[in-house]
Structure 1
């Protein structure tokens, strides 16, 4: 973050390029923003406590999750589009790091048929997971920056070690077997798999401990943050022309995180002495969903290819 005379004036990328701006809005990990990008210079007592102590207390953040995508070489119309299964202790033991004995299963292509070719299905399975369990299994870095095709990138795959990959494969097997018991024939129709862990979320988003939505509502951290934002706005105390947006500037994630951008705009208007107004340009056609064809037509059942595994 570029700061001059307690005023945010732009950002410097890891490759050295600088982008100057009248206003800087941070929509990335809150702890990284306050302690690393701003080097801890703009912490009041509330933010100092939130990002140096509260954030690491048990139960203050949403956990990360494990996600398993299965591509099926046939349709499964009998599957409920979205179901949460409650697991017993024995079933839950098969899923590494499972924090709550439950698993959400979505037949995504039932709602979004454009996700896969005709007569195929996409299944999306998730469960909340303890990041620490996956950290104990890895012997590689959580993120690694390197130049790829002439550009420095920070989200390319990293090597994590055999124990980590073995645990991912075990989760894939457990998910497939669990679903096959409920939808006989599902296992033999799997043609592609992809599995993510809380460390995958760390690699792609940089979110602290791979949390999926930041502060957990109704806990001390979330209540403290909400009071701070209500009192002073989504800002870093003492830093002009700088605002906080996204998951870490609100609580609950999802729609509130998206609405945080509008919230920031209201504060920018206030600070610039401009009235905030919102309207819809009805002269333009309404937004439409763009359908992009995917893949090749599925092979006949007798020649369904072996599953492809993405680590």
Structure 2
């Protein structure tokens, strides 16, 4: 599966159908938001949904954490799949196949990310660098790392002012529960553990570029607890379900048994995850809604020109 994914990536990039957007995923999202608002859409931020409202087995809206109710002709959830099915809908619209999939299917790991702001131009370095550690890094009781992958964002001018560089270390772990429990039970130790991991990354970076430690201006460490707090992703997963030989890259169904006028989109219905899966599955959901409501599915470009459906 790893080889197939690599071949796909090279093929997409060769055909100019994939690449790195300057500004990162935020730049992609910004364009979508601008287009959405230009079409008359309303975007609500910092508004957590607590419940999907259902009447006579038809989704009719959502209730927010502050008690506000928003009614809708259709409800589309791009939120965490497990939370959508078992929390927002109370587990009422599922079957054995869904339960089995969430119980047995492997998900992408969670991660710690050490982000560093360096007062130095690192454009002479590779954009992606992997460094072996002098001693293995015990990330948590179940995770031992022998090398640190570093992304050096000198190729994106939006990430740091001129003469400075953003550097990140992405450290995967399946032991998300350790970090959640630590954050809840022992805040002081939780902070100390983040500092310990950051120091190990900085020491590794300093061996590659002696003296860089003195030029570090800012450090931030995200843990699986941070991922869960900000995204709500089940198990702190970075990209939902992991493609395996048994599942491949096939899209999961976007509907739930017995529930009408409802669709799920995003990384929990498209193994492989990531931002592109959200866009592709959302397009499929809108196409299905248009077909159900007898509305022509004719996407238009930002210039108003009709595109192939």
Per the normalisation by structure 2, the TM-score is 0.75
Distance 1:44 1:136, change over 3 A: closer
Task: Give RMSD over aligned pairs.
Answer: 2.2
The aligned counterpart of 1:5 is: 56
Q: Does 1:61 align with 2:104?
A: no
Q: What aligned pairs does 1:166-177 form with structure 2 within 5 A after superposition?
A: 166-177=192-203
Aligned to 2:292: 271
Q: Is 1:44 aligned to residue 117 of structure 2?
A: no
Verify: 1:20 aligned to 2:71, yes or no: yes
Q: How does 1:112-123 map to 2 (within 5 A)?
A: 112-123=156-167
Q: Is the 8 A contact 2:255 2:263 kept in 1?
A: yes
For structure 2, the residue ranges without an aligned partner over 5 or more in a row are 1-51
Asked which structure has the greater RCO (Cα within 8 Å, sep 6+), the reply is 1
Do the aligned partners of residues 111 and 98 (structure 1) sit closer, same or farther apart at CA in structure 2, a change above 3 Å counting? farther
Q: What corresponds to 1:210 in structure 2? A: 236
Shift of the 187–40 alpha-carbon distance from structure 1 to 2, 3 Å rule, reads same
In the alignment, the residues of structure 1 paired with residue 112 and residue 119 of structure 2 have an alpha-carbon distance, to the nearest angstrom, of 23
Return the alpha-carbon distance in structure 2 between the equivalents of residues 79 and 273 of structure 1: 55
Q: 5+ unaligned residues in a row in structure 1: which ranges?
A: 141-159, 285-311
Structure 1 residues 196 and 281, CA gap change in structure 2 (3 angstroms)? closer
Distance 2:273 2:225 in 1: 19
The alignment partner of 1:91 has SS state of strand
1:139-178 aligned within 5 A: 139-140=184-185, 160-178=186-204
Q: 1:261 corresponds to which residue?
A: 282
CA pair 125-40 structure 1, distance change in 2 beyond 3 A: same
- CA distance in 1 between counterparts of 2:304 and 2:278 reads 28
**How far apart, CA to CA, are the structure 2 residues paired with 1:214 and 1:100?**
22
- What is the count of residue pairs matched by the alignment? 251
- CA shift for structure 1 position 214: 0.6
User: Are the counterparts in 2 of residues 100 and 128 from structure 1 also a CA contact under 8 Å?
Assistant: no
Residue aligning to 1:181: 207
Is 1:80–2:126 an aligned residue pair? yes
Q: Distance in 2 between matches of 1:71 and 1:245?
A: 35
